[in-house]
Amino acid sequence: PPALVWLRRDLRLADQPALHAALSRGGPVIPVYIHAPHEEAPWAPGAASLWWLHHSLQALAGELEALGATLTLRRGSSLEQLRALVRETGAGAVYWNRLYEPAITARDATIKAALREDGLEVHSFAAALLHEPRELATGQGTPYRVFTPYWRAACKRGLERDPLPAPSRIPAPPSPPASEPLETLDLLPRIRWDSGLAAAWNPGERTALERLQSFIDDGVGAYAECRERPDTDGTSRLSPHLHFGEISPTQILRALRQAGYEPTDGPAEPFVRELGWRDFAHHVLYHFPHTPEQPLNQRFEAFPWRESAEDLERWQQGRTGIPVIDAAMRQLWETGWMHNRMRMAVGSFLTRNLRLNWHAGARWFWDTLVDADLAANTLGWQWAGGCGADAAPYFRVFNPQRQGERFDPDAAYIRRFVPELARAPARNIHQLRPGLAADYPAPMVDLKQSRKAALDAFATIKQSG
């Protein structure tokens, strides 16, 4: 009987354990994608993610077709659709690769039990990370909350394994089950704000591998030096490809090694360590599933956040009057991505200078990032908010002026995304000289005063904690 491969965020053919295992049975294999965003609530994918998903599914369908298979698309309830497909095709087994978000792990456990009760074989695999969240624990057997010892343990356990080869052919059943047309999944935005995304990105496994190769050829050697500079192309920009599983970290390590780089030593080490942060984020989310909603450091529950829809909107729209913050927020809106250093800077600005709750920032990122990832976004926002695992202490307030001077010295990044400032000299931009441009707003807050107000507010919970 045929086997179903239930594809989720593992939209690739190489190093694809579920597909590989299904093929090793020797019978027909039916790849299936079921669109069920409500099952991920309250973190159903945001608009930019859905845009990516549309194009990634399109690319995958093409790759599958070249191997003789058809991608079956369905929507609705995952369990009902899997059962329907079993009935329609006579499938005897279902294969998938594991994910680690709380809503998804709960759903998958229910589905696994239900299908087994139906008499089916069900197999799930590790495919997304270097180590699964349960593979590492402290000496006391508890989960890690601090990155450095986590990463030491991960490296000691070993990071590298052999990636699985991509299949050269996929045997299809005599008549593949009916598929919804991709358009009916309704993944693209109705108001077409996505032209910036299309100009910046090309989703799919093939382009993920190309991007990796060009990063290894041109970027990884200078990563340590350039990674903090938003005005350069200093990082890999693999994050959305990794999120959708178009490429695996195992493949990345193998490609680095083949190019002569030692993953945990020398120029590639700081880059591989970031893949370690990605794993760590999943470890923290898996073991502390409340963190998307609540601070890991409970003391922060009592923090006196301000509320201001108007201030939030100015931050979202990149109209704060602080050039480096506005450039970053507009980069996000235009391209669906923001440089890591800038994510930290806009996070600090929102939670310190505006004293707005990190949740509001996390939600905005969730809807606008093409790499929106519950594990990394939660860790990043709790870090920025000062209330998470291994977080920036709340009393550390980024000075956006200095961030601009240090990391965008010629203001090239700022001018690219804030065209009103195209003619202003870099020095005036960084020093926030009044009247930078006629159509550019004055700073919405005084950086010094707002910093002090944030530290005073922090003192109130320090005393109570």
Of the candidates 358, 364, 366, 383, the residue annotated as catalytic is: 358
Does position 373 interact with ligand FAD (CB under 6 A)? The reply is: yes
Of the candidates 40, 274, 405, 420, the residue annotated as catalytic is: 274
383 flagged as catalytic: no
Residue in the block written with tokens 């193998």? 254
A 10 A CB-CB count for 448 gives 10
340 flagged as catalytic: yes
Whole-number Å distance between alpha carbons of 368 and 318: 13
Specify the amino acid at residue 397: V
Whole-number Å distance between alpha carbons of 43 and 30: 28
202 flagged as catalytic: no
Beta partners for residue 306, in sequence order: 356
**Which 233-252 residues touch ligand FAD, going by CB under 6 A?**
235-239, 242-243
Give whichever of 111 and 253 is closer to ligand FAD, judged by the CB atom: 253
Give whichever of 288 and 381 is closer to ligand FAD, judged by the CB atom: 381
DSSP state of 194: T
Does position 354 interact with ligand FAD (CB under 6 A)? The reply is: no
Binding mask 383-422 for ligand FAD (x = CB under 6 A): xx--------------------------------------
Count, residues in the chain: 465
Considering only CA atoms, which of 378, 372, 387 is closest in space to residue 285?
Answer: 378
366 flagged as catalytic: no
Q: Taking contact as CB under 6 A, which single stretch among the options 43-51, 61-69, 107-115, 229-237 is the one that binds ligand FAD? A: 229-237
Closest approach, Cβ 229 to ligand FAD, in A, equals 12
274 flagged as catalytic: yes
CA 112 to the chain's CA centroid: 26
Does position 303 interact with ligand FAD (CB under 6 A)? The reply is: no
Whole-number Å distance between alpha carbons of 219 and 425: 29
For ligand FAD (CB under 6 A), the number of binding residues is 29
Residue closest to ligand FAD (Cβ): 380
Does position 230 interact with ligand FAD (CB under 6 A)? The reply is: no
Q: Two tokens at 410?
A: 């010629």
**Which 254-283 residues touch ligand FAD, going by CB under 6 A?**
274-275, 277-278, 281
Q: Two tokens at 238?
A: 């693999």
3-state SS record for 60-76? HHHHHHHCCCCCEEEEC
51 within 8 A of 370, measured Cβ to Cβ: yes
Q: Residues 6 or more apart from 314 whose CB is under 8 A from it?
A: 320, 444
414-435 as b/e: b if 16+ CB within 10 A: bbbbbeebeebebebbbebeee
Instruction: Pick from 30, 111, 344, 389 the residue near ligand FAD by CB under 6 A.
Output: 344
Specify the amino acid at residue 140: Q
Instruction: Pick from 55, 74, 131, 343 the residue near ligand FAD by CB under 6 A.
Output: 343
Give whichever of 5 and 242 is closer to ligand FAD, judged by the CB atom: 242
Does position 3 interact with ligand FAD (CB under 6 A)? The reply is: no
381 flagged as catalytic: yes
Nearest 5°: phi and psi at 253?
Answer: -65, -40
Closest approach, Cβ 308 to ligand FAD, in A, equals 20
Give whichever of 270 and 425 is closer to ligand FAD, judged by the CB atom: 270
Q: Two tokens at 358?
A: 């990190």
Alpha helices in 169-204 (DSSP H): 195-200
**Which 129-188 residues touch ligand FAD, going by CB under 6 A?**
none
Of the candidates 6, 277, 333, 337, the residue annotated as catalytic is: 277
Closest approach, Cβ 154 to ligand FAD, in A, equals 14
Considering only CA atoms, which of 127, 19, 30, 135 is closest in space to residue 88?
Answer: 30
Residues forming the site for ligand FAD (CB under 6 A): 227, 235-239, 242-243, 274-275, 277-278, 281, 340, 343-344, 347, 365, 369, 371-373, 376-377, 379-381, 383-384
Residues with catalytic roles: 274, 277, 305, 340, 358, 381
